[in-house]
């Protein structure tokens, strides 16, 4: 995500967003929690209802979305020993609603 990020302040927390795409930083939103934001976002992603929502959003907005691969991911969420990474998810399902960026200015961004 190389687009320029801007910030808004919500309840005293700085939230990054990409003006061109509307993507907002889930990592910044998770900073409101007392837990590590990375863990908050990871746990949110492992929630079966979250995965069902993401699947529904992708089916509506993304004609290239691989529903079968998403079904596979949803089954893996039952296995707590498996790692379900954002980058793997987006690569294997061709999802466009989530973007995960590694590094200093990275984070996990989602389409609103």
* Full residue range of the structural domain in which residue 38 is found: 5-110
| Total of domains in the chain | 1
CB 23 within 8 A of CB 90: no
The pairing of beta strand 98-101 with beta strand 13-18: unpaired
Minimal CA–CA distance to 66: which of 91, 100, 47, 99?
91
pLDDT in tens, the chain (112 residues): 566 788 888 888 899 998 888 899 999 999 988 899 989 998 898 888 999 999 999 999 999 999 999 988 888 877 776 777 888 889 999 999 998 888 776 788 998 8
């Amino acid at each position: 995500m190389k687009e320029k990020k801007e910030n808004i302040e919500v309840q005293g927390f700085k939230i990054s967003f990409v003006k061109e795409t509307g993507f907002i930083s889930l990592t910044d939103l998770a900073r409101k929690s007392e837990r590590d934001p990375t863990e908050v976002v990871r746990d949110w992603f492992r929630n079966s209802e979250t995965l069902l929502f993401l699947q529904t959003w992708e089916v509506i907005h993304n004609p290239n979305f691989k529903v079968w691969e998403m079904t596979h991911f949803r089954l893996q969420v039952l296995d707590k020993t498996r790692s379900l990474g954002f980058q793997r998810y987006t690569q294997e399902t061709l999802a466009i609603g989530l973007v995960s960026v590694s590094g200093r200015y990275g984070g996990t961004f989602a389409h609103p």
